[in-house]
A = this chain, B = another copy of it.
Amino acid sequence: MTQWVYAFGGGSADGDTTFKNLLGGKGANLAEMASLGLPVPPGFTMTTEVCTRYYENGEVYPDGLEAQTEDGLKHIEKLTGKVFGDANNPLLVSVRSGARASMPGMMDTVLNLGLNDETVEGLAKLSGDRRFALDSYRRFITMYSDVVLGVHHHTFEDILDRHKDEYGYALDTQMTADNLDALVKDYKKAVERELGQAFPQEARAQLQGAIDAVFGSWMNDRAVVYRRLNDIPAAWGTAVNIQAMVFGNMGDTSATGVAFTRNPSTGENAYYGEFLINAQGEDVVAGIRTPQTLTKIAREDMGDTGLSMEEALPEVYQELAQTFVKLEAHYRDMQDIEFTVEQGKLWMLQTRTGKRTAKAALRIAVEMAEAGQITQDEALMRIEPLSLDQLLHPTLDADAKRDIIAIGLPASPGAAIGEAVFNSDEAEALHKAGHKVILVRTETSPEDIHGMHAAEAIVTARGGMTSHAAVVARGMGRPCVSGAGDIRINEAEGFFTVAGRKVCKGEIITVDGASGQVFLGAVDMVQPEMSGEFAKIMNWADKARTLGIRTNAETPLDVQTAKDFGAEGIGLCRTEHMFFEADRLGYFREMILSTDKEGRKDALAKILPVQREDFAAIFRIMGELPCTIRLLDPPLHEFLPHSEDDIRSVAEAIGLPASELMARARELAESNPMLGHRGCRLGISYPEIYEMQARAIFEAQLLVKDESDVMPIAEIMIPLVSSAKELEILKAVISKVAKAVGAPQYRIGTMIELPRAALRAADIAKHADFFSFGTNDLTQTTFGLSRDDAGKFLPDYVAQGIMEKDPFVTLDQDGVGDLIQIATERGTQTAPSLKLGICGEHGGDPDSIDFCHRTGLHYVSCSPYRVPIARLSAAQAAIRAKIQA
């Protein structure tokens, strides 16, 4: 006979946490605590198999279930000494659903089941509190009718309001026992009126009704939709948990409370929590009475007047404290606990791994590892890599006053305060004059780079998590809120409006890039603290990981930041960002506007010394760490002015007729710039550009070698290659320059950022020292999806479950990842010593880093502020692989 019912309580249980699939999450957890010998109110779990069979058999329960349920009840009765349905000594139970995966939106809990007109009197006698008994009864009728019988709880709330009005009461607690008695009568009448039959009085009938309702709820619309969206198979089924009720409100030796085994905010190894004497769980939450602390020290720290549990119920407290120790030792992690004391007896209602702040997580993990409770690997696995972000940026003081004016996307973390400005030139000018500014734009373009650099933070009205503003801001480590759609900017008159309010240029605003919120005025901040635990975890991570960690950076500030965060090299230095600087944009435009090679060479000759210094500055910081420098990538039209006004002023500045500049801009304009004349295609058409860049790199190497006797390691990267021939031709161009300059040490490689490059990797690898997967572009081309345009419909896609995650944030392992694997296999087939890295935005995403580890890449490269996250993620990936091996 199949076992349909698993009992727990009285120091043992039929199951444990390994039975999660059969008993559901809740049932397995209760069984585990009971097995540990902890005082869990006894109960039993009907398995998920019952649910599955029930539906397979046309909503008929399997044979044997009834008898086993009866045995389960007997088990509870035996352990509690109470009898289900007995008028004098009634056993009350709770009935809860519990699936394998957490499913909010499923059936609610039914408490106090077993109460009826007779047992309520028994309960009154047992508890010595008739009001309590009647209050429990009226709550049970409400809950049961709503959940099981389908009578909406509004019905009962209306009746309650009417009664209170009659008596002139404001609060429910003013209702006396007699008042409640009358209320219960009216409740029962209402049920009978609505259903045409009386509220069920028979305890077993109540129980059956509740069980039917739980299993029935598995197929309700909400549950079906939730499962579809979360890929939960209907065949998993739900379990039902039936458990004896315990009461913390049976006098002064009763109590209820919640606790953490360590401080979830700071991570300090001290019990943390609160409790109430003679109260039920919901009273702690409701806030009518002020809960007291658990420990004496905590009471003293807080200057609390009420006695702590340690003082008020010393014996039970000692038992609870021992339980904390036992649970932490068992689960090997900080626990979040609910308990009830019923007339001096401790009952454990729940334990689960407690949520904690990033700071607490670090401290707990380190301290537990140092205490030998867990291994260093386990400590590393305990920390959510992305949560480290909170520790790297200033954050808003949680207690500070704030006046929120707009909400957008949390595009780049950190908080900043400054004057609102609406264009980049102004931002730069004010910044130079010592002001702190926040750049507020409808959207940003490469022409805003200097303004973004000058600003403390960036706010845009348009654009998603991967808009220009978001990507660049993350790269720079600037806080950014993007797509704050309600903001309307009037740049000409110098103000923006939002939700009916007007903010003028120069007014102070505060930006919280972690939450996507914008506030009027200055909000108090908390500065980041790189505590000792942070350094320890990073140190352990470095020992555990095999992936190298590099950074995507080009300004000396970013390069230095990344190095301080532990970057082991530069994986992507985007040289085009350098051309937007004011001192060379003019020359660069001169080059673009030249009609012949000589004209272009003249203009490039003027850029050469500046570019050389760009590279020298980077080499000086990175010393002997490798620096991968990508040659010019974006299409030339990105460097020309776009609006008619801009064109006119640029034309004037460079002494060219505006019409000619406009004509050239039109000539260069493209229908799909992402798929246009860019990347190595520029190098093929205008080899003189790449020649200049290569020369600047080589000369900078020699310069730094002369200064410091350290020879920088340059890795020259050719972007947007789609065939081996492109690389072959450009490699020859660069090698010729290298020979001319006498460059001593360099490698040449390519971005793999087009599907064709991945497919042709075997050929391409013959000419490459390294591959760097440019997963931003590779994602765009593999999906045929423009990052700049996807924002309009990606929400539809996420809503309909087509995409689980934004593929520009987390690597699409099934598609883009398949190409990376193909390229890796084919590339290393012809060039076994090929160095493999990734330099898209994904290089800082934990899931993507795990993929890179599994695929056998050698390093990931990410924006400077992501470096610590990547170090931890790489360690976790290595540990995960070790576990699975």
Q: Which of A169-177, A623-631, A793-801 contacts B (4 or more CB under 8 A)?
A: A793-801
Specify which of B783, B789, B819 is in contact with A677 (CB 8 Å cutoff).
B789
**CB-CB contacts of A718-748 with B at 8 A, as 1s and 0s?**
0010110110010000000000000000000
Pick the most buried of A681, A685, A780: most chain B CB atoms within 10 A of its CB.
A681
Query: When the two chains form their complex, are residues A755 and B786 in contact, meaning their CB atoms are under 8 A apart?
Result: no
Query: When the two chains form their complex, are residues B756 and A815 in contact, meaning their CB atoms are under 8 A apart?
Result: yes
Contacts of A691 in B (CB 8 A): none
Query: When the two chains form their complex, are residues A819 and B759 in contact, meaning their CB atoms are under 8 A apart?
Result: yes
Contacts of A726 in B (CB 8 A): 802
Contacts of A754 in B (CB 8 A): 782-784
Name the residue of chain B whose CB is nearest to the CB of A763: B814
Known: A802-B729, A819-B759. A670 touches B786 (CB 8 A): yes
Query: When the two chains form their complex, are residues A759 and B722 in contact, meaning their CB atoms are under 8 A apart?
Result: no
Query: When the two chains form their complex, are residues B675 and A674 in contact, meaning their CB atoms are under 8 A apart?
Result: yes
Known: A754-B784, A819-B755. A793 touches B671 (CB 8 A): no
Contacts of A818 in B (CB 8 A): 759
Query: When the two chains form their complex, are residues A675 and B677 in contact, meaning their CB atoms are under 8 A apart?
Result: no
Which residues of A, 681-696, contact B by the 8 Å Cβ criterion? 681, 684-685
Contacts of A784 in B (CB 8 A): 674-675, 720, 722, 753-756, 777, 781
Q: Chain B's nearest CB lies how many Å from the CB of A714?
A: 25
Query: When the two chains form their complex, are residues A800 and B684 in contact, meaning their CB atoms are under 8 A apart?
Result: yes
A345 on the interface (CB 8 Å rule)?
no
A305 on the interface (CB 8 Å rule)?
no
Cα A416 to Cα B802 in complex, Å, equals 50
Cα A800 to Cα B683 in complex, Å, equals 12
Query: When the two chains form their complex, are residues A755 and B780 in contact, meaning their CB atoms are under 8 A apart?
Result: no
Query: When the two chains form their complex, are residues A675 and B759 in contact, meaning their CB atoms are under 8 A apart?
Result: no
Cα A350 to Cα B791 in complex, Å, equals 68
Q: Chain B's nearest CB lies how many Å from the CB of A191?
A: 40
Cα A144 to Cα B777 in complex, Å, equals 59
Name the residue of chain B whose CB is nearest to the CB of A788: B671
Query: When the two chains form their complex, are residues A800 and B729 in contact, meaning their CB atoms are under 8 A apart?
Result: yes
Specify which of B677, B723, B815 is in contact with A759 (CB 8 Å cutoff).
B815
Cα A801 to Cα B732 in complex, Å, equals 15
Contacts of A64 in B (CB 8 A): none
A760 on the interface (CB 8 Å rule)?
yes
Q: How large is the interface on A (under 10, 10 to 19, 20 to 34, 35 or more residues)?
A: 35 or more
Query: When the two chains form their complex, are residues B675 and A802 in contact, meaning their CB atoms are under 8 A apart?
Result: no
Cα A672 to Cα B815 in complex, Å, equals 21
**CB-CB contacts of A69-110 with B at 8 A, as 1s and 0s?**
000000000000000000000000000000000000000000
Query: When the two chains form their complex, are residues A796 and B685 in contact, meaning their CB atoms are under 8 A apart?
Result: yes
Which residues of A, 645-694, contact B by the 8 Å Cβ criterion? 670-677, 681, 684-685
A126 on the interface (CB 8 Å rule)?
no
Cα A681 to Cα B783 in complex, Å, equals 12
Q: Chain B's nearest CB lies how many Å from the CB of A320?
A: 49
Cα A781 to Cα B759 in complex, Å, equals 13
Contacts of A672 in B (CB 8 A): 672-675, 786, 788-789
Pick the most buried of A673, A753, A793, A819: most chain B CB atoms within 10 A of its CB.
A793
Cα A720 to Cα B786 in complex, Å, equals 13
Name the residue of chain B whose CB is nearest to the CB of A799: B684
A195 on the interface (CB 8 Å rule)?
no
Cα A816 to Cα B812 in complex, Å, equals 20
Cα A204 to Cα B671 in complex, Å, equals 67
Contacts of A760 in B (CB 8 A): 814-815
A432 on the interface (CB 8 Å rule)?
no
A792 on the interface (CB 8 Å rule)?
yes
Query: When the two chains form their complex, are residues A675 and B675 in contact, meaning their CB atoms are under 8 A apart?
Result: yes
Contacts of A684 in B (CB 8 A): 793, 796-797, 800, 802
A785 on the interface (CB 8 Å rule)?
yes
Query: When the two chains form their complex, are residues A670 and B796 in contact, meaning their CB atoms are under 8 A apart?
Result: no
Q: Chain B's nearest CB lies how many Å from the CB of A228?
A: 11
Q: Count this chain's copies in the assembly.
A: 2
Specify which of B681, B789, B814 is in contact with A670 (CB 8 Å cutoff).
B789
Cα A784 to Cα B818 in complex, Å, equals 18
Cα A781 to Cα B756 in complex, Å, equals 9
Known: A729-B800, A754-B784, A756-B783. A722 touches B671 (CB 8 A): no
Name the residue of chain B whose CB is nearest to the CB of A779: B756
Query: When the two chains form their complex, are residues B801 and A725 in contact, meaning their CB atoms are under 8 A apart?
Result: yes
Cα A408 to Cα B786 in complex, Å, equals 33
Known: A781-B755, A792-B677, A793-B685. A786 touches B729 (CB 8 A): no
Cα A676 to Cα B789 in complex, Å, equals 6
Pick the most buried of A755, A793, A815: most chain B CB atoms within 10 A of its CB.
A755
Query: When the two chains form their complex, are residues B781 and A722 in contact, meaning their CB atoms are under 8 A apart?
Result: no
Contacts of A729 in B (CB 8 A): 800, 802
Query: When the two chains form their complex, are residues A675 and B785 in contact, meaning their CB atoms are under 8 A apart?
Result: yes
**CB-CB contacts of A805-822 with B at 8 A, as 1s and 0s?**
000000010111011000
Cα A818 to Cα B754 in complex, Å, equals 14
Query: When the two chains form their complex, are residues A782 and B781 in contact, meaning their CB atoms are under 8 A apart?
Result: yes
Contacts of A812 in B (CB 8 A): 756
Contacts of A802 in B (CB 8 A): 684, 723, 725-726, 729
Cα A816 to Cα B722 in complex, Å, equals 11
Q: Chain B's nearest CB lies how many Å from the CB of A762?
A: 10
Contacts of A801 in B (CB 8 A): 725
Name the residue of chain B whose CB is nearest to the CB of A672: B786
Contacts of A753 in B (CB 8 A): 784
Query: When the two chains form their complex, are residues A722 and B815 in contact, meaning their CB atoms are under 8 A apart?
Result: yes
Q: Chain B's nearest CB lies how many Å from the CB of A756?
A: 4
Q: Chain B's nearest CB lies how many Å from the CB of A833?
A: 24
Cα A755 to Cα B786 in complex, Å, equals 14
Name the residue of chain B whose CB is nearest to the CB of A777: B784
Cα A463 to Cα B865 in complex, Å, equals 45
Name the residue of chain B whose CB is nearest to the CB of A686: B796
Contacts of A803 in B (CB 8 A): 723
Q: Chain B's nearest CB lies how many Å from the CB of A758?
A: 9
Name the residue of chain B whose CB is nearest to the CB of A815: B756
Contacts of A789 in B (CB 8 A): 670-673, 675-677
Pick the most buried of A722, A784, A816: most chain B CB atoms within 10 A of its CB.
A784
Contacts of A677 in B (CB 8 A): 789, 792-793
Name the residue of chain B whose CB is nearest to the CB of A669: B789
Contacts of A725 in B (CB 8 A): 800-802
Contacts of A685 in B (CB 8 A): 793, 796
Cα A793 to Cα B681 in complex, Å, equals 7
Cα A788 to Cα B676 in complex, Å, equals 9
Cα A785 to Cα B812 in complex, Å, equals 22
Q: Chain B's nearest CB lies how many Å from the CB of A181?
A: 53
Query: When the two chains form their complex, are residues A756 and B782 in contact, meaning their CB atoms are under 8 A apart?
Result: yes
Contacts of A777 in B (CB 8 A): 784
Q: Chain B's nearest CB lies how many Å from the CB of A3?
A: 37
Q: Chain B's nearest CB lies how many Å from the CB of A586?
A: 24
Query: When the two chains form their complex, are residues B671 and A786 in contact, meaning their CB atoms are under 8 A apart?
Result: yes
Cα A803 to Cα B777 in complex, Å, equals 22
Query: When the two chains form their complex, are residues A722 and B783 in contact, meaning their CB atoms are under 8 A apart?
Result: yes
Cα A674 to Cα B784 in complex, Å, equals 8
9 new A-B contacts at CB < 8 Å, known A671-B788, A723-B815: A670-B788, A671-B673, A672-B675, A677-B793, A684-B802, A754-B783, A755-B819, A760-B814, A781-B781
13 A-B pairs (CB sep. < 8 Å): A671-B786, A675-B785, A675-B789, A677-B792, A684-B793, A720-B784, A723-B803, A725-B800, A753-B784, A754-B782, A754-B783, A755-B781, A755-B784
3 A-B pairs with the lowest CB-CB distances in the bound complex, closest first: A675-B786, A672-B786, A756-B815
